[in-house]
Amino acid sequence: MPELKVTEQHLKHDAYLYIRQSTPRQVLENTESTQRQYALRDRAVALGWPLERIHVLDCDLGKSGSQSGGRDGFQKLVSEVALGKAGLVMGLEVSRLARNSADWHRLIELCSLVGALILDEDGIYDPANFNDRLLLGLKGTLSEAELHFLKARMRGGMINKARRGELEMRPPVGLVYRDDGVLTLDPDAEVQAAMRLLFETFDRTGSAMQTAKLFHEQGIRFPRRIRKGVNKGELHWVQAAHSRILQVLHNPRYAGAFVYGRVRTRLLPDGKHSTTKVPRSEWQFVIPNVHVGYITCEQFEANQKRLAENALGFGGARKAGPAREGPALLQGRVICGVCGERMTIHYGMAYHQVAPTYVCQEASIRRAEKVCQRVPGTVVDQAVSDLLLELMQPLTLEVALAVQQEVEARITETDTLRRKHVERAQYEAELARRRYMNVDPANRLVADSLEAEWNNKLRTLAEAQAQYEQQTQKQRRLIDSQTREQLLSLAADFPRIWNDPSVEPRERKRILRLLIEDVTLVNGEKIQIHVRLRGGATRSLSVAKPLPIAKIRKTKPEVVAEIDKLLDQHCDRELAQILNQQDRRTWQNAPFNLKKIAHIRQAFNLQCRYNRLRAKGLLTAKEMSVQHGVTTTTINLWAREGRLRKHRYDNARRCLYEPLAKGAILKGHGGRRPQQPAFTVAQAE
């Protein structure tokens, strides 16, 4: 009699009734099955358990039994059994308790250890009894196989429908199923307009980023349908992100094609599902022109080709990637100090040389917003280069080695704890091995459970060892004498190698990556540079921004003042010679010339030599000839003979003359070429 299995020892503990239905639909429609499960309480009362000591666990109604994750009722049942509080575990059948052999055998093992009985619709079982345990294990295996058969039948039907293109799958936003099962365009005109605008903009611009920018600049929202939760099926309007635009452009259903097998889903150990995208060549079924779409299949193929060409400039490889040929020293190592994203590189021409600029454009790429910040790369690269030369000095290396030895002494303390963790894992794995080796090979139920436990312990041991080795390699880098000498010799040779113009930029980048983990840049009043070295040490630098080209090309105030001063006594050609003798140079480090002096005079509104002399009252040869009643030839002759004082004002040796009082030169005294001075200075009355 089954009742003979129930003893006073069992009646001292409580009875637990576990109730479960696989889906909410079954809870609503299969009410008879639920009532049968609740009726098992009467069986427990008939066996001698009082009603108040019969606990009903029905919080898992509507949940699948394929795994224990997410089933709070089953977890509570297992914990109560493990604590020795249960004398009887009830379930209508094994499939109600668990559809997974691992969960089922774990429950059987716990019941066997604490002496609890298991009751189903067929009878009472004692897990400690071999025959009962064998029967329970067989029922668990059949229950798991039944779930497999159910899934296989369902999947076979899905595959058969998918082969014909008739399988109803969740449509993307912009497409809906009619009542007759035909997939058509969303009847909402606003949704259709948004989808058509997306495809038309991409066809016109050829860029998903430009499409997202148009939506962002115009303030146009994009439709999004809620897929789960209390608001499931509702339409929301959100900002059009770049990633969302790409999803729409990559989805062939908008071209009227039926596609099955674009993603693969697998169950993770924590109970969650992981979804992986499948390459297009591995899609299971692709049937074109099954339903109406927003674009044709030819347009979809053209869009895919264009997107593939655009993607060459982006992707994960662009975040770091191999060292390239460009002169940017920090390629793949720069992080934005404002938003924390990786910065890319733009090249331009400055002073007839290629100059890099570090640009943070993640917000622009992902959300069609403005560029976060731009940092000129020339000054940053030079500052980091100087830092590397400083770090590679022998004295600096000696200090670093001494500090590292001190750190190693501290790490030894934590290394002991990690080693004990590995030893404990080794002991548990060895204990599981001995249990498995001692079991009877014919008892497959127990052998399989012990083998699974042994495998779990081995995996735990492997993870512990891998973590120990990783931490040891990361935190403890032992340096012997030979390595120390190599490092010190490298410090002596490093400046020569680094500054060698024959060394390619790619090689410099590879050297830098051995020493620097990353560099964070902040462009403020000054450029803040935060360098994180290999090993965790950090250095912070602050460099001034490079001057704008307008300020660089502008002549220095002291040079302008000197030119203004020299113009009182010298012409432009003489002035250029004087400045060159003073070792003054232009912004291009070139000597001054006549054209440059004239440009400076015009730019700073400086009076030329001619105007300065005229302002002092000096006269031209014509004016002097009129004043003294002689020809200009005579005026030039008197100037050559020293009778007039002249001042040169331009580069053609033309000059102005200092005026004389009236009557200072008497015309005709002594002939045209007198043997004695032919002029007298009139006595002032």
d(CA 552, CA 546): 9
Closest CA to 345 of 337, 150, 355: 355
Residues 6+ apart with CB under 8 A from 361: 344, 371, 372
- Paired tokens of 516: 């620097």
- Return the half-sphere exposure (C-beta side, CA atoms, 13 A cut-off) of residue 176: 14
Instruction: Name the CA radius of gyration of the chain, rounded.
Output: 46
Residue with tokens 């000498």: 485
536-544 long-range Cβ contacts below 8 angstroms, 24+ apart: 539/387, 541/383, 541/384, 541/387, 543/379, 543/380, 543/383, 544/379
- Return the half-sphere exposure (C-beta side, CA atoms, 13 A cut-off) of residue 163: 6
d(CA 171, CA 414): 55
**Judging by DSSP bridges, how do beta strands 86-90 and 117-119 pair with one another?**
parallel
Q: Is 335 helix (H, G, I), strand (E, B) or coil?
A: strand
d(CA 408, CA 401): 10
How far, in Å, are 37, 394, 534 from residue 484 at the CA level?
75, 10, 17
**Judging by DSSP bridges, how do beta strands 527-533 and 538-543 pair with one another?**
antiparallel
Active site residue ranges:
22
The DSSP-derived string for 89-128 is EE-SSHHHH-SSHHHHHHHHHHHHHHT-EEE-SS-EE-TT
| Amino acid letter, 345 | I
- Return the half-sphere exposure (C-beta side, CA atoms, 13 A cut-off) of residue 608: 14
The DSSP-derived string for 590-605 is ----HHHHHHHHHHTT
Q: For residue 339, what is the enclosing H or E element?
A: none
DSSP-derived secondary structure letter, 529? E
Closest CA to 290 of 256, 262, 254: 256
